[in-house]
Amino acid sequence: MIADAFPLTLSSIGDIHPAYYLAPIGGIAALVMAKTFSGQVMQRSEGDDEMIRIAQAVRDG
């Protein structure tokens, strides 16, 4: 059984290599940065009338 091959108990959690904590921390940091950058982009001006017209044409397909 798989559970027998990889027993996970509270005492074995301390055996996890510290590098394995980098992935979830990096993922959370990436989400925070994405939210920050998207907020900055949304606050910017859409541009002049020509840029707005082109953007609408792109959205329409």
- Domain annotation covers residue 50: yes
pTM value is 0.57
In a domain, 5, yes or no: no
* Domain residue limits at 42: 20-61
In a domain, 27, yes or no: yes
pLDDT per residue as tens digits for the range 7-57 = 666 666 677 787 888 999 999 999 999 999 999 999 998 889 999 999 999
Domain count, the chain: 1
Domain assignment present for 1: no
What pLDDT is stored for residue 38 in this prediction? 96
Q: Is residue 3 part of a domain?
A: no
Spacing of C-alpha 47 from chain mean position = 28
Residue 43 lies inside a defined structural domain of this protein: yes
Other CB atoms within 10 Å distance of the CB of residue 33: 10
